[in-house]
Amino acid sequence: MKIEGKNPVRELLNSNRTIEKVILLNGTTDKELRQFQQKAVDKGIRVEFADKKTLDRISETGHHQGVIAIDTDFEYADLKETINKARQDGKDILFVVLDEILDPHNLGSIIRVAECAGATGVIIPNRRSALVNETVVRTSAGATAYVPVIKVPNLNQAIEEMKKENIWVYAADMDGEVMYNANLKGDIALIIGSEGSGIRDLTKKLCDGVISIPMYGKVNSLNASVSAAVVVYEAIRQRK
């Protein structure tokens, strides 16, 4: 997988992920790119140089900023192991669960929100979901290197598994209780649905509750990543 641009590559180099090589703009005098070179050398990562034309050809996004890292395929985390680690660390669990989020830009933005909020992890289904790719990594500004992303075969089964672990599961939907009145402390999972169809009915029925973001304007919905940010930070506010 190609990771492009200064922010994503910086976070990748600071993480413990396996990197095959880093390709830098040949003859660059950019101080930050030189720092990437030294960091890669210090970690035993192969460094190659290429001219701008070659980088443009290799680039998937067209926004490489003079650096492209070749990462191994993304490694998804395990739900049970992530729960156990959070409890060993003595931290309240906060999962962000995504139901049919198909846009990789939304997925990347939500992963970025989850990392900034210190969430336990992001859970996505194996089917009918965007998966972690170069676009997601770039949109997340490198947050994929830090927050566990858990891919599950069946989202409803994952919800049942979390409930057995005493994790309260809440769906974020417009017909729910206003989020300010809900108790979002302790071990919880927040489900965000797609902008088009929202959270599926069966998935919603499995939840312990439904919460909503109050709307005061004429437009009655928010972008999925914005909705995720609002409800996640309401949970953080209550915990603080």
Cβ of 43: how many Cβ atoms within 10 Å? 12
The domain ranges of the chain are 2-71, 79-239
Residues 187, 168 contacting (CB under 8 angstroms): yes
- Per-residue pLDDT for 84 more than 90? yes
Strand partners, 125: 152
- Give the CATH class of 2-71: alpha beta
Residue 46, amino acid: R
Q: Say which amino acid occupies 230.
A: V
0.75 exceeded by pTM: yes
Other C-beta atoms closer than 10 Å to the C-beta of 81 total 11
E strand or H helix that includes residue 177: strand 168-178
pLDDT band at 143 (very low <50, low <70, confident <90, very high): very high
pLDDT at 1: 83
Mean pLDDT of 121-148: 90
For 175-213, the pLDDT digits (tens) are 889 999 999 999 999 999 987 778 999 999 999 999 999
Which H helix or E strand runs over 55?
helix 52-58
Phi/psi for 58 (5° steps) reads -70, -35
What phi and psi values does residue 137 have, to the nearest 5 degrees?
-60, -45
- pLDDT tier for residue 94 given thresholds of 50, 70 and 90: very high
Cα(first)–Cα(last) distance of the chain, in Å? 38
Report percent pLDDT > 70 for the chain: 100
**DSSP secondary structure string, 31-52?**
HHHHHHHHHHHHTT-EEEEE-H
For residue 224, the model assigns a pLDDT of 92
Look up residue 182 and give its DSSP letter.
S
For domain 79-239, say whether CATH 3.40.1280.10 is its number: yes
